[in-house]
Amino acid sequence: MTTATTGTTPPAEGAHGSPHTRVEGPEKVTGTARYAGDVPFAELAYGWLALSTVARGRVRPVDTASVLAMPGVLAVLHHGNAPHVNTDYAGMLGPPDPTIAVFQNDRVPHRGWPVALVVAETSEQAREAAEALVVEYEEEPHDVAFDAGRPDAYAPGGPEKPDVAEKGDLAAQLASSAAVVDEEYTTPEEHHSPMEPHAATARWEGGRLELVDSNQGSAWIVNELAKLFSLDPSSVRVRSEHVGGAFGSKGVRAHQVAAVMAATVLQRPVRVVLTRRQMFTLTGYRSPTAQRVRLGADADGRLRALEHDSLSLTSTVHEFVEPSAGVARVMYDATAHRTANRLVRLDVPTPTFMRAPGEAPGSFALESALDELAEQCGLDPIELRARNEPETGPVSGLPFSTRNVLACFREGADRFGWAERDPRPGIRREGHLLIGTGTAAASFPSRAIPSTAAVTAEQDGGFTVRITAADVGTGARTALALVAADALGVPTDQVRVRIGDSDFGQAMIAGGSMGTRSWAWAVTAAARDLREQLALGGSVPPEGITVRSDTAAAIGALTETERHAYGAQFAEVAVDTATGEVRVRRMLGIFAAGRIVNPLTARGQLVGGMIWGISMALHEEAARDDASGATVGADFAGYHVAANADVPHVEADWVTDVDPDDPVGIKGIGEIGIVGAAAAIANAVWHATGVRHRHLPIRPDRILRAEEDRAGARRG
Amino acid sequence: MREFGYQRVFDVSGAVAQLAAEPGARYLGGGTNLVDLMKTGVERPARLVDVSRLPLGRIETREDGGLHIGATVTNSELAAHPEVRSRYPALTQAVLAGASGQLRNVATVGGNLLQRTRCGYFGDVTQPCNKREPGSGCPAVAGEHRNHAILGASEHCVAVHPSDMGVALAAFDAVVTYETADGPGGAPSRGELPMADFYLPVGSTPHVETALPSGALITGVTLPPAPVAAHSRYRKVRERASYAFAIGSVAAALDVREGSVHEVRLAFGAVASRPWRAREAERVLTGAPADAAGFAAAADAELAAAAPLSGNGYKVTLIRNLVVAVLTELSEGASR
Amino acid sequence: MDPSTSSDITLDINGEKHALLVDHRTTLLDALRERLDLTGTKKGCDQGQCGACTVLIDGQRAVSCLQLAVAAEGRHITTIEGMAEGGQLHPVQQAFLDLDGYQCGYCTPGQICSAVAMLDEHAAGWPSAVTGDVRTEAAPPELTPEEIRERMSGNLCRCGAYVQIVEAVTRAAAERTGTRPDGIAEKPADPATEVSA
């Protein structure tokens, strides 16, 4: 096993594997990179959404006369006059969330639901008119209270993702266990909060619907819009050249649909940009979770029983499951093994995929519980994990493609100085601070989705790659240039990569850590074919020579296996028990995540994920007000994401781990960085203070209350 | 945001005359709070009178050794001023603990004092709020109030004042100076309000926040000479390490002679509708031994009046611990 | 437009004068983006809570979303488009590019403008919230990673590029003072000073 050092080149042939600055970097540092809201249009009109102020009920007929008379106002769309859309279809992710079908009826399923779009000549006029629009409601009682004891919780089920998986006699195995952990863990509602708000400009151009948009997959958006508006997909074009962060939130959303409606009605370009506050109700979020983990083990730490039960919420109109219990199906086996994802339906917006859906909250609970079990067994937490390393998939029984989680722990422990750690909690003081360290494992599935790509040999000797990929900040554009250059056997600067245009054909979205793997596969296939063609000799015609690829057959032929990326997270924290402040002092993550195409940007992806873990552990939490059903403090002052001062020196590195069945060896790195990070921090807080924190985020008031409880217990 | 008129003024008498003539107008300083509130619809002025270019941008040493800080001095200028840094270090620390570099460069001293609460209900015009819409109710009492008041609140409003700067100013007995057009025949008239009287009790009128007369323009803040202030410290706790409002803060100045407290100044932030001068704690401490037990007893004396809600009782512990920590640090001679 | 709620103004941006009629409600940010096609300045929150719209006003960093365009008349405004000189990237821009101080790039123009002005603030001797002793009698604060983190905290980066941003700013600061940029591979700071209140 060899390991690479951050920033240096791991052994690999060709361009990929060498650090390469982003090909669009000069545009990004000079402000010339155009994001969706930056592209100018002649005759542009501005749309502003008006959102419901009740959590449940019906919209009364909307009187628009006074607003239409306001300066610059061009139109007001609402359920009484909006174009019809069709939601009776199955898209890439199944049937659409009905909440994207805006203005189709008078129902209000949650607070902050779009009830109208006001279009005006300027954004100032549109905003004021949308705020002036009086919308009346027949209000109905609502229920937004999420808690573990909901009697109406249910297991949704479905053939593709069974929501309950079980084997063995859990009660019997727990009863015969020498050590038992039985605890509840909760994570709050969390929001993607990309820096770039969702923005779309729609227009009709030569009989074609065109969108300039910020999304994770332009072909995906085309397919959904075509179905919604009953159009042929070839008559819709979506472009999304630069995307200011997405994290799962940038699919089809109300603003694109509303923009298309307005552009259709007005027959001029209409832009709809969401405000930061609107993003809290219109772009999805991660459901809060209430998770119960029960572990039973022999005295030597070998698991006899493992149960992970997770409750999350969804809206009343669409089913989305935060599959937090899934991570246990990959990580640890036990004689009796039960995992269940359950749901409760409330009068809230529909949650959605958010960076490491399932694994992020699930790993917090499971990896915290493992740490508690290690404490009970008097075992080092890494040794406990080593003793429970499964031979095959605990639920599937399938072999692992590669599984290098222990190599990550070995390398990480060595570099973090884990061997010198005194396992006893609450004993390291530096002045008024308590210091502790913690660790946790990480895993995330590695998958590929069929995609198409085109590679063109140009007459000038250069090459152009065209693929409907999206670079949401992952460095995909650069990675694909490196992969293509390698497959073509040419220097990287001879390759131009064009992405973010649905006219380039069907391709996977930037999501599920599958984007770069899926796209690199298609690009490699086309580039290799082209290279063979060029090797036959002959001249390149003026239009170039283009080879297209489609990876459907190759991906369909993959044998079923447990294919995942892994990692080991390490964190050191300092806790001021007088003020409740927790600061992460250093973090190290070692990952086994397939071949790393571009170490420079890969490090950013992994470190960025770990910083999401810091943010999740200590800061992020959207507060929903039971009385109104609204998020209180729906902005960056109320919803804290980690600021620069919260982030210490965070290091990420990787061990060699090449996927044998992938033409490039990629597994995907977009999500693995966050998995286990919050647990490592929570475990470090326990090691520092001796108190387990099972509810995120670990806020100052929670530290202070725990200290009071402990002082009370001492006195009592 | 509704349409509004805009007028830039270059002298104070012109400014106050404008507001006297048009009660729906508001002064615009740095705009870091007002423009935000206009975007969210909380403030809907008919006209903005831009006072940012008034000749009120200087910090001057007074004859008595105190400082006069002009109302349009920016937060950054205030924090970086050599006299402030050396003679009132807690004021510099308080200002630097607030907002971000970008905001401090624009936000003014006058505006900082007049900034509105960051209560999430106040900032959302679709929610009831007695401060924004008198009589509509206070959902925070039974709702989200983790960062709300434990001192001096009422059933009508439990919001806290967000200023860090104001906490240090309260500790140092600052006096707010202002002008109105209330003189004979609309002539300018000057007035002043000590920090202790500047903010009004919440009572049943949380929408009336200060004792400033209608149309008054803050022209500056006077800091009386206070040798004790040279040995002062501001400590702020928040839910992330920077760029966040306080959940509790303490400004303290301490003069210890022969083991006893000779003079002490103490004020708390994020616990009340105004910066909270802890006079009871100061009274208990003065003459008492300068040790942790004494500091804790003084904090307890002040916090005896605390009336926390179901979800913010931690603030009592937090403030108590902060008082002990900051006073201990000061008594150990670290002049920070 | 109604003359009582709009004004003819001239904005001085990157050394160029731009005459325009603005609705008083128009922020400097929207004037740049929607009227002058200077879209390098980004709108992240429109509430002064993220720093993506940071520009320099009379050389000092400020969020342009809370600045009314009409009130910005007479000020010298520098945006990200004005940072590079003669086709040569500003050292801060070059450092962000070389050291990958970004991912999606949306907060980047604000980060860069903020860093450029922050280095001036530090050079002027301004203390920060993590400066141990703010008194003028004390030595001016060194630009440690901890100081950079605090001073750059007004610019949120959701991708989590903070580590690389601090590295980039460290390098640019070292180039500015002519010292060797060897603070890049930063060791964890002294534990006693690393955590601050």
DSSP characters over A2-17? -B--TTSPPS-SSSTT
| pLDDT value for C182 | 46
Nearest to B89 among C5, C135, C149 (CB): C135
A586-635 pLDDT per residue, tens: 999 999 999 999 999 999 999 999 999 999 999 999 999 999 999 999 99
Preferred mutation among B3, B102, B115, B118 to probe C, highest tally of C CBs within 10 A: B102
Give the phi and the psi of residue A169 in degrees, each rounded to 5: -100, 100
Residues of A in contact with C102 (CB under 8 A): 28-29, 473
Judge contact between B101 and C118, C-beta under 8 A: yes
Place of tokens 């009776």: A88
3-state secondary structure A171-214: HHHHHCCCEEEEEEEEECEECCCCCCCCEEEEEEECCEEEEEEC
Judge contact between A591 and C140, C-beta under 8 A: no
B132-135's contacts with Cβ under 8 Å and 24+ in sequence apart are B132/B42, B132/B207, B134/B205, B134/B206, B134/B207
Closest CA to B176 of B160, B188, B191: B191
Subunit contact B28:C68, Cβ cutoff 8 A: yes
In a domain, A477, yes or no: yes
Count, in order, helices (H) and strands (E) of chain C. Answer: 6, 5
What is the tally of structural domains in chain B?
2
Band the pLDDT of B23: cuts 50, 70, 90. Answer: confident
Using a CB–CB cutoff of 8 Å, tell me whether A632 touches chain B.
yes
Residue of B nearest to C74 (CA): B53
Subunit contact A623:B144, Cβ cutoff 8 A: yes
Residue of A nearest to B236 (CA): A579
What are the residue ranges spanned by the domains of chain C? 6-82, 91-177
Subunit contact C98:A245, Cβ cutoff 8 A: no
| pLDDT value for B187 | 87
**CATH number of the domain to which A498 belongs:** 3.30.365.10
Preferred mutation among B119, B124, B141, B336 to probe A, highest tally of A CBs within 10 A: B124
Nearest to C63 among B86, B103, B241 (CB): B103
Q: What CATH fold (topology level) applies to the domain C91-177? A: DNA polymerase; domain 1 (1.10.150)
B236-256 pLDDT per residue, tens: 999 999 999 999 999 999 999
Place of tokens 């007002």: B34
In a domain, A12, yes or no: yes
Subunit contact A600:C33, Cβ cutoff 8 A: no
* Angstrom distance (rounded) from CA A148 to CA B211: 49
What is the tally of structural domains in chain A?
1
Closest CA to B117 of B241, B275, B314: B275
| pLDDT value for A159 | 56
Subunit contact C130:A610, Cβ cutoff 8 A: no
| pLDDT value for A12 | 43
% of chain B beyond a pLDDT of 90: 96
Subunit contact A40:C37, Cβ cutoff 8 A: yes
Subunit contact C104:A194, Cβ cutoff 8 A: yes
Judge contact between A693 and A704, C-beta under 8 A: no
**CATH number of the domain to which B306 belongs:** 3.30.390.50
Residue B323: CA count within 13 A, CB half-sphere: 31
Residues of B in contact with A637 (CB under 8 A): 118, 244-245
Chain B partners (3+ C-beta pairs within 8 A): A, C
In a domain, A661, yes or no: no
| The two structure tokens encoding residue B58 | 């200087």
Residue of C nearest to A637 (CA): C49
DSSP-derived 3-state class of residue A81: coil
* Angstrom distance (rounded) from CA B240 to CA B242: 6
Distance from CA of B4 to the nearest CA of A (A): 12
| pLDDT value for C120 | 98
Judge contact between A269 and A44, C-beta under 8 A: yes
Nearest to A245 among C84, C153, C159 (CB): C159
Nearest to A645 among C96, C112, C153 (CB): C153
Preferred mutation among C118, C144, C195 to probe A, highest tally of A CBs within 10 A: C195
Band the pLDDT of C177: cuts 50, 70, 90. Answer: confident
Judge contact between A516 and A474, C-beta under 8 A: yes
Among B52, B70, B87, the domain boundary falls at: B52
In this predicted structure, the answer to whether residue B335 has a pLDDT above a threshold of 50 is no
B130-168 pLDDT per residue, tens: 999 999 999 999 999 999 999 999 999 999 999 999 999
Residues of A in contact with C33 (CB under 8 A): 37-38
Using a CB–CB cutoff of 8 Å, tell me whether A160 touches chain B.
no
Distance from CA of C4 to the nearest CA of A (A): 14
Among B52, B69, B85, the domain boundary falls at: B52
CATH class belonging to C6-82: alpha beta
In a domain, A243, yes or no: no
Chain A partners (3+ C-beta pairs within 8 A): B, C
Catalytic sites of A, residue numbers: 671
> Which range marks the domain in which residue B27 is found?
5-52
Beta sheet of A463-466, edge-to-edge order: A495-498, A463-466, A452-457, A545-550
Beta sheet of C6-13, edge-to-edge order: C16-23, C6-13, C76-78, C54-57, C60-63
Subunit contact C192:A431, Cβ cutoff 8 A: yes
* Angstrom distance (rounded) from CA B5 to CA B124: 24
Judge contact between A443 and A675, C-beta under 8 A: yes
| pLDDT value for A18 | 87
In a domain, B277, yes or no: yes
| pLDDT value for C185 | 37
Judge contact between C111 and C177, C-beta under 8 A: no
| pLDDT value for B333 | 76
C179-185's contacts with Cβ under 8 Å and 24+ in sequence apart are C183/C145, C184/C99
Nearest to A611 among C30, C160, C191 (CB): C160
Using a CB–CB cutoff of 8 Å, tell me whether B317 touches chain A.
yes
In this predicted structure, the answer to whether residue C187 has a pLDDT above a threshold of 60 is no
Subunit contact C134:B89, Cβ cutoff 8 A: yes
Which residues 22-51 in chain C show a CB within 8 A of chain B? 23-25, 27, 46-48, 51
In a domain, A73, yes or no: no
Preferred mutation among A18, A28, A128 to probe C, highest tally of C CBs within 10 A: A28
DSSP-derived 3-state class of residue A466: strand
Band the pLDDT of C183: cuts 50, 70, 90. Answer: very low
> Which range marks the domain in which residue A513 is found?
2-33+449-554
Residues of B in contact with A633 (CB under 8 A): 120, 123, 144
Distance from CA of B295 to the nearest CA of A (A): 14
Among A232-236, A396-400, B80-84, C190-194, name the one with the lowest average pLDDT: C190-194
In a domain, A536, yes or no: yes
In a domain, B291, yes or no: yes
Distance from CA of C138 to the nearest CA of B (A): 9
Report residues of chain A scoring pLDDT below 70: 1-16, 158-162, 716
pLDDT, averaged across chain C: 91
Judge contact between A214 and A250, C-beta under 8 A: yes
Subunit contact A585:C191, Cβ cutoff 8 A: yes
Subunit contact C197:A579, Cβ cutoff 8 A: yes
| pLDDT value for A158 | 66
Using a CB–CB cutoff of 8 Å, tell me whether B322 touches chain A.
yes
In a domain, B57, yes or no: no
In a domain, B265, yes or no: yes
In a domain, B258, yes or no: yes
User: CB-based contacts of A324: which residues, under 8 Å, 6+ apart?
Assistant: A289, A291, A308, A310, A312, A341, A358, A359, A361, A362, A365
